[in-house]
Amino acid sequence: MRYEPAVMILLEDILSDAFEYHNQLDTFVLGCGLNSRSLAAARVKAENKAKQSKRAYSRAPKRFVVQEILSTFAVVNGANHEFIGNMIQQILNPSFKGVVSNSGVLADVQRLDEHIKHNKKIKEDEETQKAEFRRKSKEAAQFEQEKKMVDYQKQKDLLREQFLGLQGISNSQQRGFAFEKFLSNFFEVESLQPRGSFKIVGEQIDGSFIFQHNTHLLEAKWTKDPCAGAEFGPFVFKLQGKSLDTRGLFVSINGFTLESLEALKGKGTKSFICIDGSHLMMSLEPGQSLTQLLEALWRKCSETGNAYFPVGQL
């Protein structure tokens, strides 16, 4: 931190002319926190400066001493900052004015007082503006967050209507396509970067999405009866043919048979988790999300080895 030149000039003039004797100047600066070693060094420099002057000085003028002191502490930090601040505080103290008779010094003290107050007002105004900017920024961010939450829930409400409307589609093939479209829309709302159904050689993939930096392949089933598990094997085969980090999400609207889930428990490392229609409905409720569901299911799967947990156990 550096004090403004105007402040340093006023300090020089005041300190140079306020004291009649050198020892009075020394007493003042020492009382403000200047250590005796620094004062002695400043006086040595001042005496050398006086000797080099064309004027015949018997002793360095007080101004020379003051200049050396201020030049040493013009760039201030820590204790140095405290020293300059203490000097300003003492000079502006009414008791200082009471012992000074020099009208020029008193005028400089008045100017210093006005300058300090002006700078203080500027800093206070700047801090007020900064505080107001932070407040408005916080309010804007909060408003934007609330708006996003409202928009997010509106999108989920539309998805809920879309999901409930699927039950009215009697054609199973059309309902299956519509179900895949619904899931893709849901993944999009949840910022999971979905991809629609696609084919590769020998395989039909119902879709994919990204969750926690892992690509998840989608297997979506809307059948009248719970899934009996016959599709688990082919789905595992699809996952095993991909990268090591590829995972899967198996969605069966009407759930899974107990036999299929029991058989799945003994299949080693789980590369996919299972959800049903009740999981989707829960994720569409206010305060819930599909990402929260997936995170909870994958954690339970990692802890227990089970790929499916009913809503009541979450």
Residue 147 lies in a domain: no
Both 108 and 234 in a single domain?
Answer: no
* Start-to-end Cα distance in the chain: 57
Q: What is the pLDDT along the chain (314 residues), one digit of tens a residue?
A: 467 889 999 999 999 999 999 999 999 999 999 999 999 999 999 999 999 998 989 999 999 999 999 988 765 455 567 889 999 999 999 999 888 889 999 999 999 999 999 989 999 999 999 999 999 999 999 999 999 999 999 999 999 999 999 999 999 999 999 999 999 999 999 999 999 989 887 788 999 999 999 999 999 999 999 999 899 999 999 999 899 899 999 999 999 999 999 988 877 789 999 999 999 999 999 999 999 999 999 999 999 999 999 999 98
Looking at residue 158, what is its pLDDT?
97
Q: Determine contact, residues 270/258, Cβ cutoff 8 Å.
A: no
Residue 82 lies in a domain: yes
Q: Where do the H-state alpha helices sit in the chain?
A: 5-18, 22-31, 36-52, 62-72, 79-92, 94-99, 103-166, 172-189, 232-240, 258-265, 277-283, 290-304
Both 89 and 174 in a single domain?
Answer: no
Residue 190 belongs to a domain with what CATH number? 3.40.1350.10
pTM: 0.63
Both 176 and 309 in a single domain?
Answer: yes
Q: Determine contact, residues 44/36, Cβ cutoff 8 Å.
A: no
Q: Which of 55, 53, 74, 57 is nearest to 22 (CA)?
A: 57
Domain that holds residue 174: 167-313
What's the structural domain count of the chain?
2
Looking at residue 114, what is its pLDDT?
95
Looking at residue 76, what is its pLDDT?
47
Q: Where a domain ends, among 67, 99, 124?
A: 124
Residue 48 lies in a domain: yes
- Residue 39, both tokens: 């004062």
Residue 142 lies in a domain: no
Looking at residue 203, what is its pLDDT?
85
Both 207 and 119 in a single domain?
Answer: no
Both 117 and 214 in a single domain?
Answer: no
Both 188 and 262 in a single domain?
Answer: yes
Both 70 and 179 in a single domain?
Answer: no
Both 297 and 199 in a single domain?
Answer: yes
Residue 221 lies in a domain: yes
Both 265 and 206 in a single domain?
Answer: yes
Q: Where a domain ends, among 90, 124, 158?
A: 124
Q: Where a domain ends, among 124, 149, 175?
A: 124
Both 105 and 192 in a single domain?
Answer: no
Q: Is 145 exposed, middle or buried (0-12, 13-18, 19+ CB in 10 A)?
A: exposed
Q: Determine contact, residues 314/296, Cβ cutoff 8 Å.
A: yes
Residue 160 lies in a domain: no
Residue 131 lies in a domain: no
C-alpha 183/C-alpha 216 separation (Å) is 13
Looking at residue 5, what is its pLDDT?
87
Question: Treating both helix axes as pointing N-terminal to C-terminal, what angle do 5-18 and 79-92 enclose, rounded to 10 degrees?
Answer: 60
Residue 137 lies in a domain: no
Both 171 and 296 in a single domain?
Answer: yes
Both 102 and 185 in a single domain?
Answer: no
Q: Determine contact, residues 67/12, Cβ cutoff 8 Å.
A: yes
